[in-house]
Amino acid sequence: MPRFLVTIRFDGTNYHGWQVQQNALAVQPVVQDALFQVLGVRPGITGCSRTDSGVHANMYCFHFDDTGSIPPQALVKALNTKLPEDIAAIGCAPVPTDFHARYSVRSKEYIYQIYNGTVRHPFYRNYSYYVNQSLDVDQMQQGAQQFLGTHDFSAFCAAGSSVADHIRTVLQARVERCGPLIRFVVCADGFLYNMVRIMAGTLVQTGLGKLSPRTVGEIVNSGRRENAGPTAPAHGLFLNRVIYPDGILQTAEIDTGFAKGWL
């Protein structure tokens, strides 16, 4: 059967991640329920990544096999009549039958958002990590540069990971401020369990003056989780872009406005 790649975005506040969970609401079964209402069958769907409870996605991709009875754009519109308001389909395209939403990924980009104001902002409570102490963004930016390149990121992997290989290549890492909002943007060929959240927690410690940018590099080289900072809260994290080989899915075709602006 033909294979299709669907792109969605979701607010993860009310969900226990993407993957099906026993006794907890996840994004995947909600999407499958919507597909069942549209297609009349409940297809198996394969996502591009696991996500933690409370994590959001500006661009999340999954594939499924179907007879292709509904044109891709019609499927997007139909899905959006069945999905809840905190999940939206934004694209659908046919892909080769050997395409895999997870294993065909070239790289992924995450954004971690921090609200750094003297008074907390209710509108950002589900979409940022509130830090009321002043953060030095220049120091955080210098610290983020220590992540660039190919390293063993064991120091930034939470306990419980089943992955044996902790070598990853970080292609981009930067910290930027817009008023009280601070964003850590990181793109890599792969990520470990809680890797971005531990990176963000470590950079917050750098911004507070508790770690130096040079120390961040030493933490990377140490390979020891206890040397890194705390794991930042899940609700500040967004999967922002999923990048596939040319010809599979051009990210320019997807409205990734969050990547260019601010929440």
pLDDT in tens, 144-182: 999 999 999 999 999 877 788 999 999 999 999 999 999
φ and ψ of 94, to 5 deg: -70, 145
52 is catalytic: yes
pLDDT in tens, 8-22: 999 999 999 999 888
Delineate the domains of the chain, giving CATH numbers in brackets: 3-104 (3.30.70.580), 107-239 (3.30.70.660)
pTM, full prediction: 0.92
DSSP reduced 3-state for 170: strand
Q: What is the DSSP letter of 261?
A: S
Closest CA to 70 of 48, 40, 44: 40
Among 52, 66, 86, 98, which one carries the catalytic annotation?
A: 52
